[in-house]
């Protein structure tokens, strides 16, 4: 290739990708080839802009500010808390009004979780009412702790009222 002869466009663009080569050196001095390269750069820029529009520079800051201002989905969480509270209350009521036998079975399950299961299982084999006497304390404690957890959750939810101006 002589200096006056323009390279093939394919060779020119291949060397443009690589970043160096005799065709590129020629294009730097040749107005025709540099015009072609400039046109190619513009087209490439337009293509990139079409395929991947740049986000505004302040996008992240804007999003973070909106996230900070946006109230959490309070209504839904409140309903979840209320339903959990209702379920635990009904469970407690159901425990209280169910018969001795059911209490004994539940007592076995709970008591084996909170204390030595083997000896309590032996107690159940000896007599259900004896187990209820043993397990009544753990059951009450568990129910009370469930209730307090629910109440605490509700209080925390209610503690952050939604900003009315945002609605
Ligand atoms: Zn040329």
Q: Is residue 94 part of a domain?
A: yes
Q: Is residue 131 part of a domain?
A: yes
Q: Is residue 19 part of a domain?
A: yes
Whether residues 40 and 87 fall in one domain: no
The alpha carbon of 124 and the centre of ligand 1 are apart by a number of angstroms equal to 99
Q: Is residue 148 part of a domain?
A: yes
Q: Is residue 121 part of a domain?
A: yes
The alpha carbon of 45 and the centre of ligand 1 are apart by a number of angstroms equal to 22
Whether residues 134 and 79 fall in one domain: yes
Q: What is the pLDDT of residues 9-37, one digit of tens each?
A: 999 999 998 999 999 999 999 999 999 99
Whether residues 79 and 150 fall in one domain: yes
- DSSP conformation class of 98: S
Whether residues 91 and 132 fall in one domain: yes
* Domain hosting residue 25, numbered range: 9-51
Total number of domains in the chain: 2
157 or 15: which carries more pLDDT confidence? 15
String of DSSP letters for 156-167: HHHHSPPPTTT-
Whether residues 34 and 88 fall in one domain: no
Q: What are phi and psi of 7, to 5 degrees?
A: -75, 165
The alpha carbon of 30 and the centre of ligand 1 are apart by a number of angstroms equal to 5
Residue at token pair 């990139």 = 48
The candidate with the shortest Cα–Cα distance to 114, out of 143, 87, 150, is 143
The alpha carbon of 126 and the centre of ligand 1 are apart by a number of angstroms equal to 104
With contact defined as beta carbons under 8 Å apart, do 132 and 99 qualify? no
Whether residues 43 and 106 fall in one domain: no
Whether residues 86 and 147 fall in one domain: yes
The alpha carbon of 39 and the centre of ligand 1 are apart by a number of angstroms equal to 14
Whether residues 45 and 85 fall in one domain: no
Q: Is residue 4 part of a domain?
A: no
Q: Is residue 66 part of a domain?
A: no
Whether residues 140 and 94 fall in one domain: yes
Residue 133 has what pLDDT? 63
The alpha carbon of 6 and the centre of ligand 1 are apart by a number of angstroms equal to 4
Q: Is residue 13 part of a domain?
A: yes
Whether residues 82 and 45 fall in one domain: no
In Å, the largest CA–CA distance within the chain is 109
Q: What is the pLDDT of residues 25-80, one digit of tens each?
A: 999 999 999 999 999 999 988 888 887 766 777 888 888 888 888 776 677 777 88
With contact defined as beta carbons under 8 Å apart, do 92 and 143 qualify? yes
């Amino acid at each position: 290739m002589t200096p006056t002869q323009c390279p093939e466009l394919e060779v020119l663009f291949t060397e443009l990708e690589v970043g160096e080569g005799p065709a590129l050196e020629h294009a730097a001095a040749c107005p025709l080839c540099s015009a072609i390269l400039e046109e190619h750069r513009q087209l490439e820029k337009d293509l990139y802009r079409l395929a991947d529009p740049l986000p505004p520079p302040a996008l992240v800051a804007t999003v973070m500010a909106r996230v900070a201002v946006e109230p959490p989905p309070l209504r839904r969480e409140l309903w979840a808390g209320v339903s959990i509270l209702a379920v635990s209350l009904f469970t407690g009521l159901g425990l209280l009004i169910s018969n001795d036998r059911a209490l004994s079975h539940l007592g076995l399950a709970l008591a084996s979780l909170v204390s030595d299961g083997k000896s309590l299982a032996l107690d159940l084999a000896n007599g259900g009412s004896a187990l209820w006497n043993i397990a009544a304390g753990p059951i009450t404690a568990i129910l009370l702790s469930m209730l307090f957890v629910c109440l605490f959750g509700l209080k925390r939810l209610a503690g952050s009222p939604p900003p009315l101006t945002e609605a």
